[in-house]
Chains A and B, each alone.
Chain A
């Protein structure tokens, strides 16, 4: 045993200890990380670990109301698909619908009730409890109601349909308030008005694109965002590829090529706001050529007198022979379909223009026929009178607020502070409302102004139902069921309203304990309205089958019925020159805002997938930009990435330039959706909001915001940024990607012909040989989904 002094001994002990520790950790690091297997205490009956459970429900990301099937595993939603049995979406879904999951799992959701602690808009909130918040709110409402001041309560929601809308109606009528408003930036108010005037019904008809042989669209981006894009996209695909060897022809008229326009055989740019005049020019030519033989021919001749080809050409900028060619081909090809929407309906002459488009359908006999315009039956349920508020109705609300007539504003999942022009002064008017309650899911710009936040579930956690509008030509109703348990301490809007009613002592008027029971109660009526089916003996069986299938209704449409407009309608046909805010001399460019692919009207901006989705036409990702024709850009000496101030009579924003060939010279296009100040980490502080510079210009008849009727000027700021783009160059660089074939002759078999009409105004005609019927898609049968388990 060697002699070891104390110092060496301690050193050796230390060395041994360090070694042992290192060895222990080394061994530890080689182990499999501990994972737990946590079974349910009591498992729900309908699922097994590892096996997906699918629920049918309804998409609420936009107002189209597509049917969805949601794949869940162990109680978590994993993927959203289209419900094949739902006649609107038929198994398909758009990008925004797909990203509904990111609304559900969004890290910026409001996780429980909040009360304002700081000043309004400062975002200082204290957490609160449902019990206390509801008790106090109900108390306040009941006091107002019994004192006869219930009219001072305004309820402002996003586009709500079905029985939730009925419930809100009932609630507000019990309060004694008429201030129930739905605000949706994209609501086609002018289209409803045009249909009311021409067809006598303020409803959306079914546009039978699928069976049409000629679609003439005036500004409607119908596979992008217009009305029911998924359904239109399907119908369009079939009309172009899958039908008895004949490919439908499609002509799009709009100042800036949209996603829909890019799919057209011919893309025509008319001067902004003159699309209706062009429609009447076409109508005049049809009448002149003897294409219309109705009893009221003389009235039509008189009404169309001022729309001779030359004057139309002068106003619209579309050559007279193009007008004639369009008219002749449209009249010859049966059935054809003229549709109008988008910017065409959002000028000062929007309703007149859309009436002119309706008139075209009538002149060629395409109303009530397959492949034309088919009237929808009235919605299967829900209120009939529309509560949709246009700009002027919102201005009235603001006026009421300023005059102190609004004591409480309840706002639910709509964001007027972002979606109304600043010039409307809505945000300022909020300051005059003593109490603002928000039932929204996210902390958007409007909710940021709230005093009390009672956050609602996402649609994937709620019960609801929907009667889609536009319908599909026959009665359809759909039930939306929760596909997961609520993630946070939130409640469904319907449940909040029922709870308030109960606490106000209105149990007799609201005898339903919750939204689910209310739906069941209401659907008894729907059940008895249908044809009795021996396989469905009682209501419970019916309800189970509807919830399982996600949809209920008829299966065939019955086109038909003679249609003739009233004499007065024909006499009143005419489209005036569009009126813009801003004199042409001072503000030389027409601003053409458009709903962006993924962000929609801004609601998609908090979804990372949608932020990452490049614009389909320009390839730009992230931020905001303006699109200029190369000619305009050259005039101004601007090139891609130059930052300019976009100044309108109403305000100014800054954005970089993108030179985009598929836009008219003299028009400035800009996507809507960015420019949030709130709305969570993914949305805020990206880009700018073009709605900010819109003038508070309305279509006078409806009071709808004429969002395409503002002129701007561009002032270079000297700044430059690099736009983030996918796809590199939009030019061909000798790669011969675009091949132009004569529209009349089928392209040679073999190499497929691809057209991308990057040349502004070019008519690109293509024809593809028929590819045979798409048998699998041909039929839509309800109640045919086998794999869905009913949520109990």
Chain B
């Protein structure tokens, strides 16, 4: 037995503990963030519930997101549209009152985007609606969500799989989406 490693271990032990505790902290921080502040389920400025509107009352998606039928962007309803019903419906709800306040002050509501594609992807809602796709195919069962969460990855594989399965003309050409 030449050189003993015991002294070295003695020095390393506290360093190991520090690194170990730090690593555990890292994991805790990482998952705590993901659990309590999920990027895929942002907290909206007004807690609008799709469960009530699309679920319980079965209002069709395109009733509010009208533009999806004719425009590349689906659009979110104008405050005006909300007030179309809420001028008489549930006027005493605090959330509805908040909407009414925006309407009276002509102040737009800064909703947070849940589903987003990179700017280099051209995704026209109108063509997909025209092709008879259900909104849920990409957006998930929104009618069951109080807070909308991003279900599908909305990544290129998803687009290509679907375009292949449905035998979309030029569906897998680069320029179909990247233009």
Contact = CB atoms under 8 A, between A and B. Distances in A.
Interface of A: 8, 11-12, 15-28, 30-32, 34-43, 48-51
Contact of B17 (A12, A26, A28, A39): A12
Nearest to A17: B25
B95 interface: no
Pick the 10 closest A-B CB pairs, nearest first: A19-B25, A23-B29, A50-B73, A31-B39, A20-B29, A23-B30, A50-B71, A19-B22, A27-B33, A23-B26
21 contacts: A15-B19, A19-B29, A23-B27, A24-B30, A25-B29, A26-B30, A27-B29, A27-B34, A28-B33, A35-B112, A36-B112, A37-B110, A39-B75, A39-B78, A39-B109, A40-B79, A40-B80, A41-B78, A41-B103, A42-B80, A43-B80
Report the interface size class on chain B: 35 or more
A43 B78 contact: yes
A42 B111 contact: no
Contacts of A32: 39, 116
A30 B29 CA distance: 13
Contacts of A23: 25-33
Contact of A38 (B17, B19, B80, B110): B110
Nearest to B29: A23
Interface string B61-78: 000000100111101111
B75 A49 contact: yes
B3 interface: no
Given A43-B80, A49-B67, A16 B21 contact: yes
A20 B108 CA distance: 37
A458 B150 CA distance: 43
Interface of B: 14, 17-19, 21-34, 37, 39, 42, 67, 70-73, 75-80, 102-103, 106-113, 116, 125
A51 B70 contact: yes
Contacts of B37: 28
A41 B80 contact: yes
A38 B33 contact: no
A331 to B, nearest CB: 55
B70 A24 contact: no
A19 B39 contact: no
A38 B25 contact: no
B33 A41 contact: no
Contacts of A18: 22, 25
Contacts of B79: 39-42
B20 to A, nearest CB: 8
A593 B32 CA distance: 71
A24 B103 contact: no
A19 B76 CA distance: 40
Contact of B73 (A22, A24, A28, A49): A49
Contacts of B33: 23-24, 27-28
Among B21, B32, B72, residue most surrounded by chain A Cβ atoms (within 10 Å): B21
A42 B113 contact: no
Given A15-B22, A34-B112, A41 B75 contact: no
B118 to A, nearest CB: 10
B75 A20 contact: no
B71 A48 contact: yes
Nearest to A12: B21
Nearest to B13: A2
B70 A39 contact: no
Contact of B21 (A19, A41, A42): A19
Contacts of A16: 21-22, 24-25
B164 to A, nearest CB: 26
Nearest to B108: A38
B124 to A, nearest CB: 8
A388 B109 CA distance: 52
Given A34-B112, A41-B102, A42-B78, A24 B19 contact: no
Nearest to B30: A23
A39 B18 contact: no
A129 B39 CA distance: 45
Given A19-B25, A27-B30, A48 B70 contact: yes
B75 A36 contact: no
B32 A24 contact: yes
Contacts of B18: 11-12, 15
Contacts of A24: 29-30, 32-33
B71 A49 contact: yes
Given A24-B32, A39-B109, A43-B78, A48 B25 contact: no
B25 A40 contact: no
A37 B78 CA distance: 11
A118 B63 CA distance: 59
A24 B26 CA distance: 7
Contacts of B19: 15
A25 to B, nearest CB: 8
A75 to B, nearest CB: 13
A390 B112 CA distance: 59
Contacts of A12: 17-18, 21
Contacts of B34: 27
Nearest to A23: B29
